[in-house]
Structure formats: C-alpha cells, structure tokens
A and B are shown apart, each in its own frame.
Chain A
C-alpha cells in the first residue's frame, strides 16, 4: 500500500441537465480500500458510480486515477483506462445469449492475445474463485440470482482489474448469500490487493466490509461525512448519518 491515494475526487458536481443532484464532493480512495458509497435511495449513489466508471460525464470537477484526470483525457484514452476496472452491475448484467464461460471469455478474447486453451483455463479459474466451478456451459437464465451475482463478479475479474466496482452487490440476496458475498469481496481484496468501491445501503455489508466511506445526503445535496463506517457509527455527530447507520433507531430528525 502506497501513501498516494488511488482515486481522488475533487469538487465534483453531478446532475441531469440543469438539475444538480450533488455538489462539492471531495474524497480519496486509497489502494486496497473497500470504499463504500452510501446514502438514502435516489440521492445519487449510482450516478456517482457512473461518473467514476466513465459512463456519465460530471457537470463540474475532476476524478483522478493515479494522478490522471479521468474526464480530462480523450475518449479513446479513457476507454483504455476503463479496462483497468471491473464492474458488477446491479442485476449482474450478464449477456443472456452467452454461456457463463463465454461471458467471462469475451473481455479476454477482445483485449488479450491468449490462445483459446489459456482463455478456457482462466475462465475455469475465475468461476472456481467465485464458487461456480463446473458451471461453464450454463446460461444466465438457468442459474439462481445469487449465482448470477457471483458470475458477474467472475466476469468483472476477467482482466485482473486494479479496481472493482460493485453496484448494490447484496441487493436481492438472502442474508446468508449476502454475507458469503461479503466474505468473497474481502477475500479478493486481501489476496489480490484490489481496490474495491461498493455502492450499497445494506448496513450489515457496510460494517462488515467497509474501511472507508462517503455519505451522500439527499437533503443538503452534498456529502456530509466520510471515513471508516464503524468509526462513523461510534463518533459521528451528524444526525442524518447517525440515523442512517442505526436504521433510524436513534436521533429522530426534528
């Protein structure tokens, strides 16, 4: 782990048209962090992630990856940059007309010069890492929701990304599967040293995996706090954050 933060967000403002969703976002993500983007529904968590992964341009401000201004470089350069990311979409977003093996093999076929046999080996490795060994020939419609999520992670990891983005990884999963998924995320971080950015509002996950976070407040349209969620729960004075982290059990808003 180096001292230089891997992702730096400066004065970020995002919105749709003239509507401003969030402004003055400033935070850093260090290498090897599990960084949580949290906040209530509709406050712009997913939009922030879209900006971070290059799907939506911010209205103002910069995002730096290892010192490179992500939205300042030209699109083709940015496309090459985006290959360093692995992304798990909310519903897996597996290509439904391809088998799991083909889903994972596609980025490898596109961006590496590996021979088919090597690609096959990597595909089985990635599937066994997420506990789906032997499911190569299955179509996404033939497996359960939790398995689809894990297959989505396998695809996100296909190119050995430096940063993994997860959009609501535990949404729609039962508590046991969700906690297994949390374990998997931590295991990947610890063994590969990958930086992981998670958008979620599942409290159990937030405390289990996060070591850094930002809280987006829909009311004031900006981030109100950032840091380790466990510390925030213990120390934060902000009533909205406290209310969020305790499921509204304490500090009712007046």
Chain B
C-alpha cells in the first residue's frame, strides 16, 4: 500500500488514485473505481474499503460507481470478491448495479458453486508418539507388501518352471538383449577400471615386500569372487532396475496394468516374470565377462607398472582362482539378478499415479537394489566363511 494519506477535498476523502469514497446518503458507501485495474499495476487492497466500513458511520449498503473505470481484469475481481465476502459476513448489502456487466456476471459465476467446506486440507503436526506409531504401521505394511510380492513372484516362477506361465516370448528376447548385450559397453568400462584400481592398491603394498607377482592373486580372487558380481549388480541396478521401475510405473499411470488384469492376464507373469528371468540369465554371464575384464585391467598394471611377464601373470592368476571361487562369484550374481529384478518390479508396481511418483519409484528401486545387494553380499560371505569355502 502506497500513499495512504487521507486528504479531504470538497468533503470527500481521496485515498488512492484509482479509488475513492463518497457517502451520498445515510448508510450508503459509494465506492468509485477509476482508471486501470489490472493485476500488473499496483492496486489498492480491499482493507481500505473494510476500514471505511468498520470505522466511519454505520453503513448498510455498498454501491459502486465505475464511470471512470477504463480497464480491468482479475485484479478488480479479487478486490471485489474480498469486499463481497466482508459484506456478507457483516450483513451489509452489496449493490452491484454500478459495476460493468462482465464483472457482475463473473461475480455471479464465481459464487454460483459454493465453496466446498472441509475440502481444504489442514496439515496438523502430529505428536511424536503418533508419528512413531504410524511409521511402525507403515513399515509393517510395506514389509507385508514386499512379502506378498515375493510370494506372488515365486508362484509365477513355479508356473514358469512347469511351463504354464503366460508371457510373450518376444518380450523375453527383447529384455534379454536389453539387459545383456546392451549392457556390455558400460560393464567393460567399469570392470576394467575396477581391475586397474585393485591392482594399483595391491601393487603399492606388495612392492614393499618384493611380492609384485601376487598382484595377480589380489586382482584375480578379488574380481572373480565378489567384485565382478558386485560391480555388475550395481551397474544393473542403476541401469536396468531403474528402467524396470520406470516402465512399470508408467504403465501403472496409464492404467495399462489394470487393462492386463481385467483381461485375466496376471501382470506378475506377463511383466515381472520375463524381467526376472532375463536378469537371472544375463547377470551371471555379465559377471563372468566382468571378471575377465577386471583381470585384463590387473594385467595392464602388472605389465605396464610392475614389469611382470605376461605368461607369468596369467599362470599366477590361474593358480589363484579355482572353480569354487568362480562358482561363488556366479552364485552372487544370480542372487543379485533376482534382487535387482524384484526391487525394480516391486517399486514399479507400487508406483502412484503421477509423474513424480514414477521418478520416486525409479529412485527407490535403485536404492532398494543396492542396499539389498550389499546386505546379500555380507550374508553370503558370512555363510562361505562358516562353510569354509
């Protein structure tokens, strides 16, 4: 509010350039609107009128004079809406005849449908214990949903094994290509670099003892036993798990999943199963490939930095790795395949029906898969320890 200095000229109070007041009769307040009333211009607030109504002599009716009004838009309407509300609260009659035809019609239109009471959501801060309680209930619910999903997925898998599952073979082939062959470039790059890094870290320590040749052991066992599997798992979580969640989430938004259900096609078998199978088949293969690339990375360091002999390095690697090591690595990756596919599909199926829900589903799919990969690795490592393999 600018220049709110009431001046009195000819017994009339001038308040603003485009607003002034007049009391032609007892109990009547005539509001004169002048000039341009558009939202882009600074406009007087309705408080000025309310002050007139509350402070001055008693007013029973508010009228308008718009003979000098040149242009108007929503700015004028919001102003009038507030006055109207104030008047109806204080039982003052609002005479709208002086307003332009369009304004009157819009005011009528705006009040044609009464405001939906109780529609406004009020956010109340819940007490601490209530929040803890509802979190626990939420957690229970999501755990239940997860188990539910797991159960359904297992049942779909059993159906697949008995050859009764319904899905399109062409979908499976496409998925195999998507999460197999098309992941090769990124898997090559990452595992080669991980091999290099492992070799570097090992080389510095082993050089102190003159045992450079054991770099081959460090890289070979490290890559083949866990690192190859973990790196492919994490790559696939970010690449494919997120894609699964986004695909299924978008299908959920477009009601495509509902369409499948109503046709009697189980989305579990039709959508989740092929994705699961594709990852379970492809992850071990990718893992073996990653192992190889990791060893290649170690070899580069061994030859380039430690001046080892090629044959010597390869022999050392072959001696270090046995079939059990390879088996453990492949087992890891098969487990990760299941985990990534399940978390991707689970989050996709749980997705809400908005654009941001799809984003959230993709994010939480990646988080869930990476967390479960790490936890699974810890468990498998512990079991191997106990079994002595």
Contact = CB atoms under 8 A, between A and B. Distances in A.
Interface of A: 95-97, 112, 114, 118, 121-122, 124-126, 128-129, 131-141, 160, 184, 187, 190-193
Interface string B117-159: 1011100000000000000000000000000000000000000
A94 to B, nearest CB: 10
A134 B353 contact: no
A22 B166 CA distance: 45
B101 interface: yes
Contacts of A95: 355
Contacts of A132: 113
A137 B116 CA distance: 12
B74 A138 contact: no
Contacts of A190: 102, 105
B39 A191 contact: no
A121 B77 CA distance: 10
B354 A134 contact: no
B103 A114 contact: no
Interface string B93-113: 000000001110110011111
Contact of B353 (A122, A129, A131, A141): A141
Contacts of B11: none
B88 to A, nearest CB: 14
Given A95-B355, A137-B120, A187 B40 contact: no
A242 B121 CA distance: 51
A137 B113 contact: no
A118 B39 contact: yes
A190 B103 CA distance: 10
A137 B121 contact: yes
A180 B353 CA distance: 28
A91 to B, nearest CB: 11
Nearest to B43: A118
Contact of A192 (B106, B116, B117): B106
B356 interface: yes
20 contacts: A96-B353, A118-B39, A121-B78, A122-B78, A125-B74, A126-B74, A129-B106, A129-B109, A131-B112, A133-B113, A133-B114, A134-B117, A134-B120, A136-B120, A138-B119, A140-B354, A160-B73, A191-B101, A191-B102, A192-B102
B354 A122 contact: no
A178 to B, nearest CB: 17
B81 interface: yes
Contact of B105 (A112, A138, A191): A191
Contacts of A97: 354-357
Most chain B C-beta atoms within 10 Å of own C-beta, residue among A141, A192, A193: A192
B227 to A, nearest CB: 39
Contacts of A140: 354
